[in-house]
Structure 1
Amino acid sequence: MAGAGPLAGLRIVEFAGIGPGPFCGMMLADHGAEVIRVDRASGGRGGSQPISSKDVLARGRKSIALNLKSEEGLALARKLCASADGLIEGFRPGVMERLGLGPDVLLADNPKLVYGRMPGWGQTGPYAPYAGHDINYIALAGALAHFGRSGEKPTPPINMVGDFGGGGMMLAFGMVSALLNVARGGEGQVVDAAMTDGTAVLMAMIHGMANQGIWREELGANLLDTGAHFYDTYETADGKFVSIGSIEPQFYAELRARLGLAEDAEFDAQMNPAGWPALKEKLAAIFRSKTRDEWDALLEHSDVCYAPVLTMSEAREHPHNVARAAFVEVDGDPQPAPAPRYSGTQTAQPAAAPMPGDDSDSVLADLGLSAEEIASLRGAGAIS
């Protein structure tokens, strides 16, 4: 089922990078696009993560290794982009322009090209030229200050929010939107998917709650930030954890009934923040009285809004995830399955990540180059 999915027939060129750019490429490849990664002929991709076929973010690609500092390698990159529907790059502003591969050049070659840019700070603004990482982007966007518990310092949610939610997935959405515009007769354009911008958008509901006076800027003092006793995680007798999200009155009533608290008047004023700390201590003591498996038996498959807190390896084995085939194996390695799902278009089983240059010959042959021309380019060091 190679190329299966709703994006089948689209060609995307991805200039190799780390983190959010590859995540965008993975999303597009998972849903059927042909994604051709341009790797460095010298090897390496930046960052501390080694290049490996086990790299989940790099799955489902083809790879061509080009020397972009040579005239021949640069010409090949332009030829490849001229054949593409979209492009992904995640360098600092100005890098692609200095290479001779900026949007002015490539959109002149291919006016229908959707040129996707994955910067941290954006292409413009005082921070634009400087380095940063997820932790910095979500800090500046006003998100990091709200992740953590009362009395503690803000805690980064790994790099889920800036790199992947506000970055790679936002770029994938922007590119598909721009590609749809092209399909309807529009021209190609640049998509500037700054991770700061995307993170700010992810905070939209919280801004709305603050505007209505129902969100305080103090850490761990609100409904969804571990302030409330009915929306938090609790340790169990075996040192594991469970999650409770009993917000709505009927779900809160179900929680109280199953924990034997239906007649405890202290729990009546659910939405009074003044009582939350004491009620949280009472719930903590209750949850420490049983193991996680025992809580599963009591609270799973109910409207309490409950789930055990699972590690990655545990999540792969949970019956719900197994029933939905939420994880797959690629060359023996476990990975999350492509998501979302479609009623009429099946996505393909992902292929393992290629090593740099694995597909150089086939990609160039598809562009119309002969075996002799490819050999000559390899001899000149333009490809590897």
Structure 2
Amino acid sequence: MLPVDLPGTVRDALLAPLVDHHCHGVRRDDLSRAQFELLIGEGGVPAPPGTTHFDTPSGAAVRRWCAPLLDLEPHAPPAVYLARRAELGAGEVNRRLLAGAGVVAFLVDSSDRQGPQDADVLSAAEMGRHGGAAADELVRIEQIERDVAETAQLGVDYLDALADELAARAARAVGLKTVIGSLMGLDLDPARPTRGAVIAAANRRLADPKELLTDPILLRYLLWSAVDVARERGLPVQFHSGFGADPAGLSAFVRELQPLGVPVILLHCHPYHRQAAYLAGAFPHVYVDVGLAPPYTAASARVVDELLELAPFHKQLFSSCCRGLAETGYLGALYYRHALAAALGSRLATGEWSTSDAARVAHMIGSGNARRIYRL
């Protein structure tokens, strides 16, 4: 159901199976309305008294687009939608929606089960089985650091164990991921910290290992350790950016990485997609997506169109940022296709692009670029 009339080859390219290069597991259990509403948006908190998260762009999208996959009319009332969801059961709902997304491979960050909303989610392999797709794991480096900090006895032990655990987990993964932007921003000092400074910071860290890692010395050490592993294994490193983390701050660090050849992928860059697009154009190892924008932004067509204006086509990727609800995976794919269709349609209508150009770009962004970068 594309929003514009397009030549057959372009439609086929847009509707071809996607590689979702960044998503999370979805809940395997049946959810109450309160639990479901916590997962509709990004905040993870209840709506104010007397209101509902169904009165949001994502809530309206669930009722419009996901309802038909559950055998309901579009715009089904929330109570009707949730009753049907409960009737089918979480397993069947997950199968219908994940398969409906039209994804050929899920790359899953399954290492962030830190809150009640992440309590019981599908593994990467289960995501693949439910969606009828291949699946691989993305390793979140901050989770590895926390696991090591909770078991290490001394700062020196911490350093050795962190390097070993990163290497072991990377051996089973297609990429590494960091949320350092959420912890300290992306305006990073590109220098590697000294060993002495790291040992001293690690000893402080081990005094309270369950606390969120915020020490800039250890965060930089963790990041450089991950880069070393990524270089050795030929893996990309994903940087969570976007709201609260302007990717432009990464420019000095990105410049340091260029000689190493480690691909840097800037995730969910809206509303800083212009800055991210600049980095993708300026550096051969930098790639970009606008993941969260399509399902959660009413102006998704404009965001995707602007990225297409600014970033090299071979540097753009698709991700749904599916998390918690299979609905988010389905909507991420649907809105991505709608937004890219509108952007390609406008270029075809003015004669700016040929039909073959539009089809080639749709294939690149939808799956080809991810296959190359992650060596799928």
TM range (shorter): under 0.3
**Greater percentage in helix:** 2
TM-score (norm: length of structure 2): 0.26
Q: Which structure's CA Rg is the greater one?
A: 1
